[in-house]
């Protein structure tokens, strides 16, 4: 399956690895890689180390190494369009950074159980189907996400449940 968003993730991750960050590919792009199923991806969701309090911390300090990440994204011709969401854009592609350290409290996903993957010399984490199910079930309870993405999230939850039960 050709996935240009995944290829862009690998380019970004190669630069993140150089500053000793191993990111987690979240969202639908990661789900496509794990399930082999197309999910009509809209953006790239990349989680990196940060303050586990998440939204409670000012956005300019909630992600560790934020200044270095900004420099990387700008060097790749991305424009910061929303500091609160840590969102960049380039040629119609949105890349949002989240905080990997919020996963245990948010979805019960233990960081030490994340699966490390490698493509060439590039290292990154991916959730397994059970972990994705936990994330999407937790997300479906979030009122903002429920209003915005509930139908898509419910389809992903149903798909993951059937995949896990096989």
| Residue 29 falls inside a structural domain | yes
Q: Is residue 157 assigned to a domain?
A: no
Q: How many domains does the chain have?
A: 1
Q: Domain range for residue 61?
A: 4-127
Q: Residue 78's closest CA among 17, 136, 34, 15? A: 15
Each residue's pLDDT tens digit, 75-89:
999 999 999 999 999
Alpha-carbon distance 149 to 57, whole Å?
25
Could you give the CA distance from residue 97 to residue 64 in angstroms, rounded to a whole number? Answer: 11
Residue-wise pLDDT for 92-109, tens only, equals: 999 999 999 999 999 999
> Does residue 84 lie within any of the structural domains?
yes
CA pair distance 119, 107, nearest whole angstrom: 27
- Examine residue 132 and state whether it is found in any structural domain, yes or no: no
CATH code for position 78: 3.30.460
Q: What is the pLDDT along the chain (166 residues), one digit of tens a residue?
A: 457 999 999 999 999 999 999 999 999 999 999 999 889 888 999 999 999 999 899 999 999 999 999 999 999 999 999 999 999 999 999 999 999 999 999 999 999 999 999 999 999 999 999 999 999 999 887 645 445 555 778 888 887 888 888 7
Q: What is the CA radius of gyration of the chain?
A: 15
């Amino acid at each position: 399956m050709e996935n240009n968003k995944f290829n862009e993730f690998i380019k970004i991750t190669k630069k993140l690895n150089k500053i000793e960050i191993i990111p987690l590919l979240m969202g639908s792009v990661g789900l496509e890689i794990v399930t082999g199923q197309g999910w009509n991806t809209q953006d790239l969701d990349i989680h990196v180390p940060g303050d586990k309090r998440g939204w409670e911390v000012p956005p300019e300090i909630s992600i560790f190494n934020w200044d270095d990440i900004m420099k990387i994204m700008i060097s790749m011709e991305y424009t910061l369009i929303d500091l609160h969401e840590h969102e960049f854009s380039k040629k119609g592609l949105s890349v949002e950074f989240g905080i990997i350290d919020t996963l245990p409290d948010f979805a019960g996903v233990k960081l030490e159980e994340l699966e490390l993957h490698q493509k060439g010399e590039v290292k990154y984490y991916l959730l397994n189907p059970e972990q994705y199910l936990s994330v999407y079930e937790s997300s479906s309870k979030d009122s903002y996400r429920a209003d915005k993405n509930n139908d898509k999230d419910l389809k992903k939850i149903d798909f993951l449940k059937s995949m896990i039960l096989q």
